[in-house]
Amino acid sequence: ENANVRLGNVDGSSTTTFLNNEAFGHGGAHVSVDNDFTTYGNVNYLYNTAAAGNGGAFTVTGGSHVTMNAGKQTFTGNKATGKGGAIYSDVNVTINAVNKYITFSGNTANGESNAIYMNNPDSVLTINANGKTVNLNDKISGAEGYKFNINGSSGNNINVGNSIEKS
């Protein structure tokens, strides 16, 4: 079993930080199984490790959706020996940057740059920049067939500093 917390939601009304956690399986900071996973507010995932698995910051399996609603959310220096340097997901993922920033930087999977891995070929990764900026400094990848949607309003940014690819 993993040496981490199984969560359904993270509410960072002030600031919640997952720092230097290590799992000897999947999900360096936590795993969400068979339920939706939602983050709110200011949440930081910093230097977490999935030492023998996927999802350096977190892994989501089962359930129907992952939603990240910013506040300021930062994924920095997370690593997985498998796939998904920061996030590994079997389900749809929606990232909403609303009046704050979401940044992925310095995350690695199997020694290579990777922010998000979409494992299900029928899953959808959606990024919405409505009010601020999403910075993707790490690669995004997934199983062949996954979909990637980008939406934004005038004056907002989605910065892609690496590649978007399929396995």
Measured distance CA(130)–CA(154) in Å, rounded: 8
pTM for the full model? 0.88
In sequence order, what DSSP letters do the residues of 62-118 get, joined into one string?
SSSEEEEEEEEEEEES-EESSS-SSEEESSEEEEEE-SS-EEEES-EETTEE-SEEE
The predicted pLDDT at position 64 comes to 65
The predicted pLDDT at position 147 comes to 93
pLDDT-derived band at 10 (thresholds 50, 70, 90) equals low
Residue 5 clears pLDDT 60, i.e. is over it: no
The predicted pLDDT at position 121 comes to 94
Lowest mean pLDDT among 55-59, 101-105, 152-156: 152-156
User: Which ranges of the chain would DSSP assign to H, the alpha helix?
Assistant: none
Contacts of 17 (CB under 8 A, 6+ apart): 43, 44, 46
Lowest mean pLDDT among 95-104, 117-126, 144-153: 95-104
